[in-house]
Structure 1
Amino acid sequence: MNQKNLPLRSLSGWVIALSLWLGLATAHAQITEKPEYGSFIIENVDIYPVTSDVIEGGVVVVKDGIIEHVGSNVKPDLSGDVSRIDGSGHRLYPGFIDSETQLGLNEIGAVAVTIDAAEVGSVNPEMIAQTAVNPGSVSIPVTRVDGVTNVIAAPVSGLVSGTGSLIDLYGYTPEAMSIDQRAGIYLNWPSSSKRGWWDSRSEKEIQDDYNEAVDQIDELFDDARAYHKMWQTVESGELDEQPDVNAKMEAMRYLFTQEARLVVRVNREKDIVAALEWATHQDDLSFVFSGVSEGWRVADEIAAADIPVIATALVTPSRSSDHYARPYQNAGLMADAGVHVSLSTFNTENVRNLPFHAGYAATYGMGIEEALKAVTINPAELWGVDDKLGSIDVGKHANLILVDGDPFETTSSIKDVFIRGYRVPMVSRHTQLNDEFLDRDVTN
């Protein structure tokens, strides 16, 4: 036997075994119940449109995936087969939107072959997250039955991670789930501080690394801007010669045509200030700042720059001297300063907890109304889809959740979820496990 082949064979065996195990696990978690599609009347329900006043005991009509009627409890005429849903004692909200997740890209954190959010290389703007989204991910039903109907699936690695995609959390293919496959390109702003207690670099080494990364960013955007202008002359007919096509630069062009935002991940006060300064010299780009854990320290500056942010309410303090509640207050303090805030979990498996992130933000200064906007209409405006999502208005997509109370309270339950007019099954891997062990045979 050739001993040199043993490691490869062993590895192949492990890959096959893992593939079989994943296949069995996925099959076991399959949702066999099909969604219901058609015309629906949700009546006797308290409607929270977000963009207008609450309508008590109102009615919403859904037809062909679109909201057709919103108003007082009047029975509109509908022909054909109509499903009536009694919403007595319940509230109807627009589906929640999480503006930065790895949902559909990552499955099992400890298994590398199930991780698609991180690409090889440092600069990957051409890598579109939607192409890697797994519609059969176990985490998707887990998330949507808790009221989250839309997410941004975003890559995470390198200097320029790739292009994030806005998706519905229902569909059999990535294309069927797609709202905007090129929502934003993600730039990880370099840190000018130690990364943690394990970081052994000297202050000089940290500064040198930071300066090198910023220089790389400047060079990248100078090249991308020149490439875009060159192709503009080609497209206008001013230049006859056809230049070479560069996939990375082609992806960056969407930033200069305003078809995609530049999402800058940045957290520390000093780095936020540096990113703000850099942004002032990029007046042909549309920015979003993501993370901004110390945004409260420079909230006025962010507001003055008119840059929207994506933040979370559930993190630990970034400095030992900070009050324990400061991270919970961060989003509210920025909103009070006039910053356009959207809330996110920055997660995969626990995107389902987005309503509770909003609950914390509401409790620690943001208020319920602003927190509700931060998971509905604000992210819809941020991504330029407020004509489709984010509120309960006639003509918008029927992405709706029916709740038996305040959705930010842990004691409330989501009773129904609609995505593009599909009444999706209220079944997930979690509910399956609950049913299995609730009715288990205790004699075995």
Structure 2
Amino acid sequence: MKFKNITSLIIILFGIKSGVAQQTPAPAQTEAITIVGATAHLGNGEVMENSLIILEDGKISRIQPVTSTKMQYPGKIIQAKGKHVYPGIIAPNSTLGLVEIDAVKPTDDEDEIGEILPNIRSLIAYNAESKIVESMRPNGVLLGQIVPRGGLISGTSSVVQFDAWNWEDAVVKEDDALHINWPNSYRRGRWWAGEERGLKANDDYTSDIQKLSDFFASSKAYLSGSDYTNLAYDAMRPVFEGKKKVFVHVDGEKEILDAIQFKKEQNINHFVIVGGYHALGAARQLKENNIPVLVNRPHSLPNQDDEDYDYPYKLAKLLDDAGVMVSLESSGQMERMNTRNLPFYAGTVAALGMDKEHALELITLNAAKILGIDENYGSLEAGKSATLFISEGDALDMRTNILSHAFIDGRELSLETHQTELWKRYSNKYKNQDNSDKKE
């Protein structure tokens, strides 16, 4: 029995050791870096050919066209003629770092027990050494909003950068937004409860909205002067002060309109729709109330039989054409792994008619504006953070999105991940196998 216990312990320790991520965060920038000759995609819809970009002390100190081949460049020089420079791609509404292995419950921190949990903070559960997080960087996804799931109010998100030792090092904007999962006015029949299959009216829809209204009212009453401590109510103070945004996860047109009415009743300043599958029907109201939409991944099938086959692909463009600010998010099945496909989602939107530089803006500057970090991130501008990457070709095309360099706050990142190590290992295996076959 003792031998079995020791053997089990060794196996467990070996599993833990082998599961540790291989990334090592880059040290702070100590010398200037000059990128010469690349085509710079600024992230604001503009392109600069033959650019000169100088990174100093973690910031972009200069960005301009190359005016002379005899110019003196400071620090380390990266000759990037024929390559492309982009601002770091930003992933809103992500659970990266909250779940490592779906089937292993101790690695799943995306949800907490309870229905109304505004005081739950995703940041302190964020695993900066996640192997999934490090796999974002080779595609240029360098920042993200880490969001809790579940309940009526699931908690508070934070924005992080994807090259850090721990969550304290990773944080870019702490406790940026409260997340509400708006109830559905319809639900599917629960066959196991003896209900008929198919859609039916949700009898609890009105009462669920009333729960939200009551909680907001109770929070305001508590914050107006109370002698006892309530963590949930305390977490609402930044919302009422306009310092914390409210992200509402909702898809139906009726539900979106009801959520807009809720915003007005509660006098919420910063309001964002997440998902918004049927947001097109409420586009006028969204524009009038200056409410942006995080559109779910375009690589999806239509939800209804009578919808255009390419409706999910073109929804972002249709909303943008209607004057709504749009960004892209990737929640849903295998969402953490699929987050690395954000640049290709934007490429799909461009293939459906949107100007390619504007499609890039959806996952750079628009995302930064919606998350409230556009002062430092989202575009290539002097004075902003040196968070960017160099690609061999078009970053929105999976065939040419091949990174040679990536930087976060001027720190040059390793682009090696568990996936790239496996690719090299097995590509060499088959290369050697081909050579052996030729010799035979």
Deviations 1:226-268 (A, max 9, x none): 22333xxxxxxxxxxx611211111111111111111000011
Deviations 1:394-438 (A, max 9, x none): 111111011122111111112211111111011111101001112
1:217 pairs, out of 212, 236, 246, with 212
Question: What is the 5 A alignment of 1:190-229?
Answer: 190-195=183-188, 201=195, 206-229=201-224
Match of 1:322 in 2: 307
Match of 1:291 in 2: 275
Check whether the contact 1:125–1:161 (CA below 8 A) recurs between aligned residues.
yes
How many angstroms does 1:22 deviate by?
4.6
| CA separation of 1:32 and 1:373: change in aligned 2, threshold 3 A | closer
Looking at structure 2, the residues matched to 209 and 402 of structure 1 have their Cα atoms a distance apart, in angstroms, of 51
Looking at structure 1, the residues matched to 227 and 218 of structure 2 have their Cα atoms a distance apart, in angstroms, of 14
How many angstroms does 1:67 deviate by?
0.7
Looking at structure 2, the residues matched to 52 and 204 of structure 1 have their Cα atoms a distance apart, in angstroms, of 42
Mapped pair 1:439 → 2:432: no
Which amino acid in 1 is paired with 2:257? Answer: V
- Name the SS for the 2:61 alignment partner: strand
Looking at structure 2, the residues matched to 389 and 204 of structure 1 have their Cα atoms a distance apart, in angstroms, of 43
Match of 1:31 in 2: 23
Aligned pairs, how many? 420
| CA separation of 1:199 and 1:168: change in aligned 2, threshold 3 A | farther
| CA separation of 1:14 and 1:320: change in aligned 2, threshold 3 A | farther
| CA separation of 1:135 and 1:317: change in aligned 2, threshold 3 A | same
Mapped pair 1:377 → 2:377: no
Mapped pair 1:331 → 2:323: no
Mapped pair 1:173 → 2:162: no
- Name the SS for the 1:349 alignment partner: helix
Check whether the contact 1:417–1:423 (CA below 8 A) recurs between aligned residues.
yes
Looking at structure 1, the residues matched to 63 and 125 of structure 2 have their Cα atoms a distance apart, in angstroms, of 37
Which amino acid in 2 is paired with 1:31? Answer: Q
How many angstroms does 1:387 deviate by?
0.9
Unaligned runs of 5+ in 2: none
How many angstroms does 1:77 deviate by?
5.9
Looking at structure 2, the residues matched to 269 and 133 of structure 1 have their Cα atoms a distance apart, in angstroms, of 33
Deviations 1:206-231 (A, max 9, x none): 4322122111111111111222333x
Match of 2:349 in 1: 361
1:267 pairs, out of 251, 254, 259, with 251
How many angstroms does 1:287 deviate by?
0.6
Looking at structure 1, the residues matched to 413 and 201 of structure 2 have their Cα atoms a distance apart, in angstroms, of 50
Question: What is the 5 A alignment of 1:4-403?
Answer: 20=13, 22-27=15-20, 29-31=21-23, 37-38=29-30, 39-51=32-44, 53-73=46-66, 82-195=75-188, 201=195, 206-230=201-225, 243-312=227-296, 313-346=298-331, 347-403=335-391
Looking at structure 1, the residues matched to 281 and 7 of structure 2 have their Cα atoms a distance apart, in angstroms, of 50
Check whether the contact 1:129–1:181 (CA below 8 A) recurs between aligned residues.
no
- Name the SS for the 2:187 alignment partner: coil
Match of 1:5 in 2: none
Looking at structure 1, the residues matched to 125 and 188 of structure 2 have their Cα atoms a distance apart, in angstroms, of 29
Deviations 1:130-155 (A, max 9, x none): 11110110011110111011100100
- Name the SS for the 1:271 alignment partner: helix
How many angstroms does 1:19 deviate by?
5.2
Unaligned runs of 5+ in 1: 2-9, 231-241
Looking at structure 1, the residues matched to 118 and 7 of structure 2 have their Cα atoms a distance apart, in angstroms, of 33
Name whichever of 336-345 and 242-251 sits farther off.
Answer: 242-251
Looking at structure 2, the residues matched to 198 and 73 of structure 1 have their Cα atoms a distance apart, in angstroms, of 67
How many angstroms does 1:323 deviate by?
1.3
Percent identity of paired positions between Structure 1 and Structure 2: 29
RMSD: 2.6
Check whether the contact 1:36–1:424 (CA below 8 A) recurs between aligned residues.
no
Looking at structure 1, the residues matched to 265 and 53 of structure 2 have their Cα atoms a distance apart, in angstroms, of 47
Which amino acid in 1 is paired with 2:267? Answer: D
